[in-house]
Amino acid sequence: MTPDTPQPDAAGSINDAETGGPVLELQDLSLDVGDRLQRRVRGSINRRVLAGELVGLVWTAPLTILLEFFQAAIELFNGKRRN
């Protein structure tokens, strides 16, 4: 196998070959990430996800309501009744 081929790890999942291993020169410069930073990043991600969900709802809800009104009008003119 070539080095570019993804290799399964002990758990059986395939690692991403594009990321590669750690850079040896930078290995000694690693810093511990505090809980505060992780909470801030997670909070930022959650806010963006919530905003995306709300934007999606703002677009789909009116269209769904209009579709329901349109279907009700069609059923009314065709003489069908909802159960």
Two tokens at 67? 């579709």
Mean pLDDT of 25-49: 87
Mean pLDDT of 47-61: 94
Confidence of residue 55 (pLDDT cuts 50, 70, 90): very high
pLDDT of the residue at 1: 41
Lowest mean pLDDT among 16-20, 41-45, 52-56, 77-81: 16-20
d(CA 79, CA 83): 13
Q: What are the backbone angles phi and psi of residue 15, rounded to the nearest 5°? A: -75, 150
Amino acid at 67: L
